[in-house]
Structure 1
Amino acid sequence: MDSKTPYPYMRCYCSICRKVGGSGGYAINLLAEANSLEILGADAKGVYSAVVDGKASPAERHFCKSCGSHLWLWDPRWPDLIHPHAGAIDTPLPTPPETLHMMLEFKADWIVVPDGPGHVHFQRYPDLSIEDWHKSHGLYED
């Protein structure tokens, strides 16, 4: 897939990201163009829809049925976009100049979130979208 916003700068600590990732308490989602996605071995792909406030979310969380790795999120409310998980990408990704920690209101108590220079915290969503963050840092790739 193609992305103009390749920096994995944002960690989400919401309960859904924590649970589908099953690890350090967060997921890192990127932004890519949905029409650029090429899938090899599509028969090994499954889809999970999280339950939010008692209702199935329209967002589709795609995962590998063979190994359980979570691959990307796609949401019909924004059909042109796809959000691959940084941990599922095999090609090198650039190191971000800062890390945003979001949805901290929902993080597990045992998780210690890094603080200090280079770390920005948000109880819910950050002020900038993924695209706007990249543009504000001169990192948007046209």
Structure 2
Amino acid sequence: MKHLKGSCHCGEIEFEFDSATPVPFMRCFCSICRKTSGGGGYTVNIMGLTDSLVVTKGADRLKTYRAVKDKSKAPSEQTLCQNRFFCPDCASYLWAHSDEYKQWIYPYASAIDTPLKAPASTASIMLDSAAEWADPRRQPKRDVLNEMFDEYPDYSLEMWHKKHGELV
């Protein structure tokens, strides 16, 4: 296990947790990640153990947002996504947590203060939802180490870390 620490941009919220998958190799291009984080998203990069999560500063400040998977559906047919925890002062997204996988949190790599190792390869997921300007398939120079998936890859975060010898 690797112990990681993170914080929001303004410093009002700080947190720490343990992770066996500390290498941020995946970029999510879904509309939820793009719209809520103001970029590519990168939410499902790192898994942390929910039981190890400690908010060391600003726990009373934390806010959550629960996105809808498909806003084009009628409200009665919509499915909610994981809760996304953020700082209400600077709007930094910190981690996501899903009712489906209660044992894990999914910190944004951008919120982690502990130095993170560069990945041996990368993966881009949810490319069917990517904005045209951000879609790596449309970029003039492709990253030859970057795997690309229209939806989710056929392997888990843990499997990627094992394959690349990065499971702690």
* TM category, shorter: over 0.9
Q: 1:123 to 1:67 in 2, by over 3 A?
A: same
Aligned length: 140
Q: Does 1:50 align with 2:67?
A: yes
Paired residues of 1:32 and 1:84 also in contact (CA < 8 A): yes
Partner of 1:104: 127
Q: Does 1:87 align with 2:86?
A: no
Larger radius of gyration between Structure 1 and Structure 2? 2
Partner of 1:27: 42
Paired residues of 1:2 and 1:32 also in contact (CA < 8 A): yes
- C-alpha distance in 2 between matches for 1:116 and 1:110: 16
Paired residues of 1:13 and 1:102 also in contact (CA < 8 A): yes
Corresponding residue SS for 2:131: coil
Gaps of 5+ in 2: 1-16
**Alpha-carbon deviation of 1:33?**
0.5
- C-alpha distance in 2 between matches for 1:10 and 1:26: 10
- Runs of 4+ in structure 1 over 6 Å off: none
Partner of 2:94: 71
**Alpha-carbon deviation of 1:21?**
1.1
What pairs with 1:105-120 in structure 2 (closer than 5 Å)? Answer: 105-113=128-136, 115-120=142-147
**Alpha-carbon deviation of 1:58?**
4.8
Paired residues of 2:124 and 2:148 also in contact (CA < 8 A): yes
Q: Does 1:125 align with 2:162?
A: no
Gaps of 5+ in 1: none
Give RMSD over aligned pairs: 1.4
Q: 1:121 to 1:93 in 2, by over 3 A?
A: same
- C-alpha distance in 1 between matches for 2:32 and 2:50: 22
More strand by share: 2
Q: Normalising to structure 1: TM-score of the pair?
A: 0.92
Q: Normalising to structure 2: TM-score of the pair?
A: 0.79
**Alpha-carbon deviation of 1:117?**
2.0
Letter in 2 for 1:99: T
- C-alpha distance in 2 between matches for 1:68 and 1:5: 25
- C-alpha distance in 2 between matches for 1:100 and 1:85: 15
Of the three residues 73, 82, 98, the one matched with 1:59 is 82
1:101-134: CA deviations, max 9, x gaps?
Answer: 0000000011141624211100000111001110
